[in-house]
Structures are given as C-alpha cells and as structure tokens.
Amino acid sequence: MRTPNRLLITALAAATVVAAMPSVATVACASGTEVIQTFPTAGPAVSQWRFCHEIVRIPDAGGAEVQSQTLVIREAEFRPGALATPIRAVGEVRMAEIFVPYHEGAPRFHDMTDYAFDLQALTATECPATRLDGDRVCKEIVDRGLAWRDPYFALARRGEKLVLWSLINAANYDYLMRYEFFDDGTMEVRAASTGRKLGGPDDTRGHLHNFAWRVDLDVAGASGDTATLAGVRIGASVRDADRTIEREGGFRWESKAFTHLEVEDATAENGRGRHVGYTLAPAREGVAKLPESWMKYPMWVTRNRPGELRARDVATYAADRERVDGEDIVLWFIDSHNHEDDMRDEDREVVPLSYLGFRLEPHNIWDTTPFYP
Ligand SMILES: [Cu+2]
C-alpha cells in the first residue's frame, strides 16, 4: 500500500559512528586549496567532504613538470556522519593522459605529454557558480536527483553533490576534467571532449579519445590497501569470481564479468566490523586495445612511487611486477570515446560534450544506507 504523503528527508541526525579508524591528519592542505563541504546543504550537517585541489603540469619523460596542465584532487576525506571519523578516500587523482589516435593510424596525439596546453579561464556563462584559481576551476553544488526510496515506508531522499571541473584547450579540441563529490561518499570522475574536428567541418576521419586517470586510492590512509579484481561468472547460476591482485600489472575489463576494482583497507572497519574500501566502477562504451604497450589493458595497478605520473609509461612502471597487496597502491583507468568514421552531422561545427569515466563507490564506509533514519 502506498502512503499518499511521502516525506522527503532533508536532514537527519542519525550519525554513523565509525570504529577503529586510524587517526587522519586534520591539517589544512599540504598543497593546493582546501574545500570543505557538508551535506545536506540546508539543515544540520550529516556527511562531509574535505579535499584539496591544485593545477599542476604533467612531467615530461625526464620528470620536469613542463607539459600540459591537469586539475589534481588531493587528500580527499569523507565523513559519513555528523559524529563519524573522517576517512581518507583518495591520496591523489588526476587525468594523466589524453591520447587521440586517428583510425587510419596517424596522427597519434598525446595531448597531456607531447604539448604544454593550459587550463582555461572560464566565463560566467560557462560557470555561473563559484570560480576558483584564476577562474580556471568551477565549483558547483547541484541536486543529483532521487538517492533512494523505501517501498515499504513513506521515506525517500534526494541527493546533492559538489562538482569541480576545469577545461583544457588542446588546439582544435577542448577537454573537460570533472570531479563530483556525492553526499553519500561516492566520487564520480568524468572526462568529455568538445571542439572542432582537426580538418574542419568536412573532416569525417574517425579517431579515438582515450582518457587515462591515475588514482592513488589511500583508503583509511596510504598503507595496508589491497586491490581485488571483482567480477562474476554468469551461467545457469551466477558465481562470484573475485581475485586478489598480488602484483603490479594490467587487467582486462570484461563486459560479461562486470569487472570492478575494489580497494580495501587491512585494518579500518565500519561500525559493523566490516573492512572499509572504495570500488572503482567503470561506466564504459568500449575498450580501445591499441598497439602502444600501455593501451594493451584499460586498467592497471602499480605501487605508488613518486615521479610515476605518466600514464603512457605505466607498462614500464609495472614491468618489474612488484607486490601490491597490502601496499600503497595506484589504480590507472583508461576510458575511450570513439568518434566514428563518416562522422555524424551533429558533430559538424563543434562536437558536443559526451561524458565518460568512472565512479569511486564507498564500500562499508557507512554502516547502513546513507541518510536512512
Ligand atoms: Cu573527436
């Protein structure tokens, strides 16, 4: 039976208390600019994101930070309740490469490491919200629709998110880097391309836009993290097919297996005694397996080594197959958008944005459904 007057819960005090958390530094950003955002934005605060952002240049092959600029998110912590201990989710996340090979084999542009492209100052039209860091970072707080609805009780909740995005101009193309911080602890990482085709409106040559992110997940701190290649084997019944990742390397993404990458901390637990983690959940159109060694796999796991910041070198970083279970690890994720040959006319003057990327989903960060009373 439906209750006619369903409530929308806008604020509640049911705080999740997280036990056995290692202490997390409460200092302001070691680098960059700090953002603190509590949710809900109206009424008593329940959850909270706290992170730093900075615009840096990608290093060249020799390690000098002289190539294109990227928006980096650092030291991202999520607090799942008013009285809960904040949990470090991300040490650092950045877009590390934009690789654009044309279908006929050439050209093959590495927009982040063959050039020194800059993030652009955004106008008030492009970013009608808060503009930061020389107007190059847009900060918006937006409604994210229905978060959940209880079919048995008159309970439902709409969610909110903080969105931070920047735009890099790479000659005829502009690329968006977008980081979304949900009130429930999810972080959504997105890229999109817009702009003009290389040879003008009549150019219909197909090409791929491959975006590669470096995700230093530091769940409950940098140490003691273990990654699992999570998936299923589907037959008459469906079986879990999870595998602990013991050594560095590249990993296939299988549409039939629902492949995810889970990272779990060895010691930190939620109030139910379950290990806290974050899951990298892809939102894919397809996988572009190209001849370059780093494009052989769409996902990689490596040890976190200072200076290992270039996605195009990830096969080299992983070549010695160091152990990664229980270490400070980095996930590399590559997602691809295909602009097909004989391109559609909707892309004629300026190619409209279409987003791709992944989510970082909280895994036992809360003790129960976020914001459930
Ligand atoms: Cu394109």
Phi, psi torsion values for 24, nearest 5 degrees: -115, 135
Q: Is residue 27 very low, low, confident or very high in pLDDT (cuts 50, 70, 90)?
A: low
Structure tokens at 274: 């379950």
Rounded to an integer, what is the distance from CA 332 to the centroid of its chain?
Answer: 10
CA angle 355, 39, 372 (to 5 degrees): 100
Q: Is residue 285 very low, low, confident or very high in pLDDT (cuts 50, 70, 90)?
A: confident
Residue 261 alpha carbon to ligand 1 centre in Å: 28
Residue 260 alpha carbon to ligand 1 centre in Å: 27
Residue 49 alpha carbon to ligand 1 centre in Å: 34
Residue 207 alpha carbon to ligand 1 centre in Å: 6
**pLDDT at residue 339, rounded to an integer:** 84
Four-residue CA torsion sign, 274, 281, 76, 228 = positive
Residue 114 alpha carbon to ligand 1 centre in Å: 18
CA distance 181 to 160: 9
What SS3 state is found at 53? Answer: strand
Residue 215 alpha carbon to ligand 1 centre in Å: 25
Neighbours of 50 (CB within 10 A): 21
Q: Is residue 324 very low, low, confident or very high in pLDDT (cuts 50, 70, 90)?
A: very high
- Mean pLDDT of all residues belonging to the chain: 91
In the predicted structure, residue 212 carries a pLDDT above the cut 80: yes
List domains and CATH numbers for the chain.
7-363 (2.70.98.20)
Predicted TM-score (pTM) of this structure: 0.87
Residue 344 alpha carbon to ligand 1 centre in Å: 11
Q: Which amino acid is at 76?
A: A
Spatial contact of 142 and 134, defined as CB atoms under 8 Å apart:
no
Q: What percent of the chain has pLDDT over 70?
A: 93
In the predicted structure, residue 214 carries a pLDDT above the cut 50: yes
Residue 351 alpha carbon to ligand 1 centre in Å: 7
Q: Measured between alpha carbons, how far is residue 57 from residues 139, 151, 316 in Å? A: 21, 49, 21
CA distance 224 to 149: 36
Q: Measured between alpha carbons, how far is residue 150 from residues 8, 9, 139, 147 in Å? A: 11, 11, 31, 10
CA distance 309 to 289: 21
Q: Which residues are bridge partners to 300 per DSSP?
A: 250, 332
In the predicted structure, residue 299 carries a pLDDT above the cut 90: yes
Residue 310 alpha carbon to ligand 1 centre in Å: 22
Residue 102 alpha carbon to ligand 1 centre in Å: 9
In the predicted structure, residue 18 carries a pLDDT above the cut 80: no
Q: Which amino acid is at 124?
A: A
